[in-house]
Amino acid sequence: MKVLKFGGTSISCEQNILNVKKIIESIDEPVIVVLSALGGITDQLITTANMASVGDNEYEEELSKITARHLNLIEGVISCSQLCAVEVQNKVVHLLNELLNILKGVYLIKDLSIKTSDAIVSYGERISSLILSYVIKEAKLFDSRKFIKTEKHFNKHIVDFELTNWLIKNTFVPLPKISLVPGFISSDKETNEVTNLGRGGSDYTASILTAALDASVLEIWTDVDGFMTADPKAISSTYVIEHLTFNEAIELCNYGAKLIYPPTIYPVYHKNIPIRILNTFNPNTSGTYISNEQNSTVSGKSLIKGISSIDDTCLVTVQGLGMIGIIGINYRIFKTLADNDISVFMISQASSENNTSFAVRNADADLAVKALKEEFALELEQGEISDIKAEKELATVAIVGENMKRTPGIAGKLFGTLGRAGISVIACAQGASETNISFVIKLQFLRKALNSIHDSFFLS
Ligand code: ADP
Ligand code: MG
């Protein structure tokens, strides 16, 4: 048995859906197919909700575009019978009417809570999976809200794995030949209200199912030939990486490779079940294989495996000569950030201990500075800490590869390349595992940095 996940671009139009149908029906063994919303729909739902929440009555117009897109699609893909097409149309219209009522409420009250917003975005996957269940007639449609259960942690919904795994094991018996599951959506384990696993969460839904049911592989079907040496939208000379270890994939995804939603890798990694990245539009290429096999046994020709980047970076720095003597300063910095639900993706500390810098998203920067200024008010007043400041318009770049730990001189090559390109490094960090070097530069140099590093490590 295997689990397949198709992203939004894979099911964005009539032709693509028929492509997906062909891929699914050509598989001999039982499959669970996890589906995203049609490409672009989640963004459109968010826009519509935001319009309604500020009292812009054009939200109705926006919703009718969403309705038209789905109804046109049904006309194009449902071939079973006229009766069948009417039946699915009625079901979709019913769901969209429900959605319209929620949006009307948002418009009248001019308030969009997280709970309401979660309800609104859930319609994308609920409708796409419903339509696909009519396209692939022998498939059985499941409702993931019944078995992916979350609880609230800070401001996020996190999966209750014990309950979820138990429910999944009891849901897929007997296992149908083809099961269809809407990705992304889940429900609160206490209130049963709809929640979700975050943007890109369909990948995670698929991984949770793979691990809970001990499937043989998780296949992520998308719009590129595999995991590439860098984002093909940023660099043109990238090529497909044949094999990645789980660690390498985790590092690349944590540092911005949007191809896989980062939490996806953990459930399958713990079960040692491989992931394959495949292209819906080029199904015969072998894609990228992600497993725990070490590179030497598969292929280990280059010093690094890939480059990824986060363009939304702000560097917050806490500095002062008096910091050297203060015990627990880092503890207090990171506890303050955690208490404010701010996630940090890179940390760098000078060895003299008079300066700690860390990278956060721009949206979190002002809150981080404010909270830290409150926490260290006394030290700031006494001059032990001289400044807490945020520098915006930056980008973080990471180079990743397990071979790095066996090879001296990689940092030299990296920084030499950046130096020759005239790009100065504002902060950098290397994990003790030596599978990653990450650094922060000015955002305006990002494309140049990616190109220079890519040329230097992969093309020369
Ligand atoms: P889906 O709709 O299938 O979930 P996503 O848009 O989430 O697709 O992810 C696929 C995209 O990820 C690609 O189109 C590509 O632009 C981007 N991407 C970023 N980094 C990489 C990388 N290293 N290799 C391949 N694709 C990448
Ligand atoms: Mg995705």
Is 187 touching ligand 1 by the criterion CB < 6 Å? no
Distance of CA 71 to the CA centre of its chain: 29
pLDDT in tens, the chain (460 residues): 999 999 999 999 999 999 999 999 999 999 999 999 999 999 999 999 999 999 999 999 999 999 999 999 998 888 767 778 899 999 999 999 999 999 999 999 999 999 999 999 999 999 999 999 999 999 999 999 999 999 998 778 999 999 999 999 999 999 999 999 999 999 999 999 999 999 999 999 999 999 999 999 999 999 999 999 999 998 988 999 999 999 999 999 999 999 999 999 999 999 999 999 999 999 999 999 999 988 654 444 578 999 999 999 999 999 988 777 677 888 999 999 999 989 998 998 876 668 899 999 999 999 999 999 999 999 999 988 988 999 999 999 999 999 888 788 899 999 999 999 999 999 999 876 788 999 999 999 999 999 999 999 998 7
Last residue of a domain, one of 223, 241, 266: 223
- Same domain, yes or no, for 179 and 62? yes
Give the ligand whose atoms come closest to the C-alpha of residue 10.
1
Is 7 touching ligand 1 by the criterion CB < 6 Å? yes
DSSP 378-393: HHHHHTSS-EEEEEEE
Compute the distance between CA of residue 305 and CA of residue 298 in angstroms, rounded to an integer. Answer: 13
Whole-number pLDDT of residue 27: 97
Give the ligand whose atoms come closest to the C-alpha of residue 6.
1
- Same domain, yes or no, for 193 and 339? no
Assigned token pair, 424? 């100065």
Give the ligand whose atoms come closest to the C-alpha of residue 253.
1
Whole-number pLDDT of residue 351: 64
- Same domain, yes or no, for 69 and 191? yes
Is 228 touching ligand 1 by the criterion CB < 6 Å? yes
Whole-number pLDDT of residue 208: 98
Give the ligand whose atoms come closest to the C-alpha of residue 261.
2
| H or E stretch covering 42 | helix 41-53
- Taking the centre of ligand 1 as the mean of its atom positions, its distance from the CA of residue 261, in whole angstroms, is 10
- Same domain, yes or no, for 218 and 344? no
40 in a structural domain: yes
Whole-number pLDDT of residue 433: 76
Whole-number pLDDT of residue 156: 83
Is 248 touching ligand 1 by the criterion CB < 6 Å? no
- Same domain, yes or no, for 218 and 314? no
288 in a structural domain: no
Compute the distance between CA of residue 253 and CA of residue 439 in angstroms, rounded to an integer. Answer: 16
Is 233 touching ligand 1 by the criterion CB < 6 Å? yes
Range of the domain at 96: 2-223
Protein residue closest via CA to atom 5 of ligand 1? 259
Q: Which residues surround ligand 2, an ion (CB under 5 A)?
A: 7, 200
- Same domain, yes or no, for 174 and 57? yes
Whole-number pLDDT of residue 214: 98
Return the best residue to mutate from 218, 259, 277 for the ligand 1 pocket (most ligand atoms within 8 A of CB): 259
Compute the distance between CA of residue 315 and CA of residue 395 in angstroms, rounded to an integer. Answer: 9
197 in a structural domain: yes
Last residue of a domain, one of 188, 207, 223: 223
Per residue in 380-433, pLDDT tens?
Answer: 999 889 889 999 999 999 999 998 887 888 999 999 999 999 999 999 998 767
Centre a 10 Å sphere on the Cβ of residue 422 and count the other Cβ atoms it contains: 9
Number of domains in the chain: 2
Compute the distance between CA of residue 356 and CA of residue 343 in angstroms, rounded to an integer. Answer: 16
Q: What is the CA radius of gyration of the chain?
A: 24
341 in a structural domain: yes
Q: What is the ipTM of this complex?
A: 0.99
Residue 145, domain CATH? 3.40.1160.10
Compute the distance between CA of residue 218 and CA of residue 32 in angstroms, rounded to an integer. Answer: 10
Whole-number pLDDT of residue 322: 78
Is 287 touching ligand 1 by the criterion CB < 6 Å? no
Per residue in 342-355, pLDDT tens?
Answer: 999 899 887 666 88
Whole-number pLDDT of residue 416: 95
Residue 381, domain CATH? 3.30.2130.10
CB 59 within 8 A of CB 70: no
Distance of CA 244 to the CA centre of its chain: 18
Return the best residue to mutate from 16, 229, 231 for the ligand 1 pocket (most ligand atoms within 8 A of CB): 231
Output the CA torsion sign for 319, 324, 326, 327.
positive
- Same domain, yes or no, for 320 and 441? yes
Any alpha helices (H) in 255-356, and if so which ranges?
265-271, 295-298, 329-339
Assigned token pair, 381? 């007043």
101 in a structural domain: yes
DSSP 94-107: HHHHHHHHHHHHHH
- Same domain, yes or no, for 216 and 321? no
Last residue of a domain, one of 223, 248, 275: 223
- Taking the centre of ligand 1 as the mean of its atom positions, its distance from the CA of residue 124, in whole angstroms, is 20
Residue 388: strand pairing partners: 318
Protein residue closest via CA to atom 1 of ligand 1? 7
134 in a structural domain: yes
216 in a structural domain: yes
- Taking the centre of ligand 2 as the mean of its atom positions, its distance from the CA of residue 313, in whole angstroms, is 21
Centre a 10 Å sphere on the Cβ of residue 407 and count the other Cβ atoms it contains: 12
- Same domain, yes or no, for 218 and 310? no
- CA proximity to 68, closest of 28, 25, 127: 127
User: Which residue spans within 161-247 are E strands per DSSP?
Assistant: 178-182, 185-188, 194-196, 218-222, 243-245
172 in a structural domain: yes
Q: What is the pTM of this model?
A: 0.93
* 17: CB partners within 8 A, 6+ apart: 11, 73, 77, 131, 132, 135
Cα-flanking dihedrals φ and ψ of residue 451, to 5°? Answer: -65, -45
- Taking the centre of ligand 1 as the mean of its atom positions, its distance from the CA of residue 308, in whole angstroms, is 11
- Same domain, yes or no, for 210 and 71? yes
